[in-house]
Amino acid sequence: MITQNEEIKVIKSLVERFYLKGEHKSDRHDAEDEIKHFLERQSEISDKNVDDIRERCHYIMKHGHHTFDEAWTMIEKLLTEYESGLYNQIKESVKKFFRTNSDSDRHEAQERVRDYLKHVVKLDEKTGSDSLRHEIVDDDIHDLLKYDRRNFTEFEDLWNQIEDIIDWAWTVESEYVSKDYSRMSDQELIDTFVPDVYQKNVYRIDYEKLKAAGIKVITFDIDATIGFAGIWTPSSETKNLFLKLRDMGFQMALFSNAEPPRVKSVEKDLCAFYSMGHGGKPHTFGFDRIIQQYVAKNLGTELSVNQIAHVGNDITKDIQAGNRAGVTTCMVRTFGGSFGCSRLFYKEAHRVTKELEKRGIWRKHHERINDDQYYQLGEKQK
């Protein structure tokens, strides 16, 4: 009889083959199929969770831009995190709290999350980076259960939020949260996080200046940028903006970390030439995809990164991705406030903006008079 450890070794060999033999689609499919079969044999894992884990493994291999060792570390955690039963314990304790809404049950649910993190996200004793992740996740679970419970009428909606927070502890984005910004030089902070344009919203950007600078394509984040977080249908004001930009000669694309079906829905309403969900920002591979799609749709006409502008509200995702890729970055304030957006990422953005402000490099809020923090392309912050 084949043991569970032996099954995992088989999966590891298939994942390794995918990375070492040129990352061919057929090798990735072989690994994904074996992962699915392995998970289906684990009686404690529901069909939904089988699909979820397989999808996460697919994302790691297809979009993660990792080395084999980096990818396998994350995949192995996904395959083994159910062994101790900690994950199911979290769900049952959250379900109990959802029914009773008592402080004692909330504390129990939080404790189950802490136990799980100790099992899945091992503490790096040298840097303490995982300790920081534990702290952020713990705070966010606390806030969600204590303050936002009343916003959920269905348990599954609350559980989906809990899963998103827990997933974050091991995702490809975790490396950016563990960074100690105080150790970065002023120039590193400027090159990574300072946007070329900063305005209150997408309607106040001077698009004529972008056009004069040679920008041909403008990519937009969707959540909390062109509408409220969770947007499925853009407003008439946003539709009119896109019509105006098309009349100016721009082509638009959507570049979001949100789920692809929702991003595609917004794309259709705005007639963008391309949309990318699960974009993986602050990774930059999405801009490569956008360039490929532009070239394909414009009969081979070339497009360089300095002809692209990206508009978004998140300094750690949108601006970092754009600056790393070399595109013109336009930051706007969060549309509708932070409601519905991940507090995890806002805490991280807060750490960045505080460091920038402390060094006198850049500030998010006005200093002397209202709106003196905003500037257009080619201008400096007052």
pLDDT tens, 168-186?
655 544 444 446 788 899 9
**In this predicted structure, what is the pLDDT of residue 165?**
72
Residue 305: partners with Cβ closer than 8 Å, 6 or more residues away: 287, 291, 325, 326, 327
Which range, 158-167, 233-242, 333-342, has the best average confidence (pLDDT)? 233-242
Closest CA to 348 of 174, 119, 177, 124: 177
**In this predicted structure, what is the pLDDT of residue 344?**
53
Rounded distance between C-alpha atoms, residue 132 and residue 182, angstroms: 14
Percent of the chain residues topping a pLDDT of 90: 42
In this prediction the pTM is 0.60
Please check whether residue 270 is in contact with residue 234, taking contact to mean a CB–CB distance below 8 angstroms.
yes
- Give yes or no for residue 342 having a pLDDT over 70: no
**In this predicted structure, what is the pLDDT of residue 65?**
59
Residue that wins the pLDDT comparison between 125 and 376: 376
State the average pLDDT over residues 332-345: 61
**In this predicted structure, what is the pLDDT of residue 123?**
41
Residue that wins the pLDDT comparison between 305 and 124: 305
**In this predicted structure, what is the pLDDT of residue 314?**
92
Which token pair is 143?
A: 């806030």
Residue that wins the pLDDT comparison between 371 and 118: 371
- Lowest average pLDDT, out of 146-150, 208-212, 314-318, 351-355, goes to 146-150
Burial, 66: exposed, middle or buried (Cβ in 10 Å; 0-12, 13-18, 19+)? middle
- Mean pLDDT, all residues of the chain: 83
**In this predicted structure, what is the pLDDT of residue 169?**
59
**In this predicted structure, what is the pLDDT of residue 127?**
39
Please check whether residue 266 is in contact with residue 242, taking contact to mean a CB–CB distance below 8 angstroms.
no
**In this predicted structure, what is the pLDDT of residue 315?**
94
- Lowest average pLDDT, out of 240-244, 286-290, 325-329, 335-339, goes to 335-339
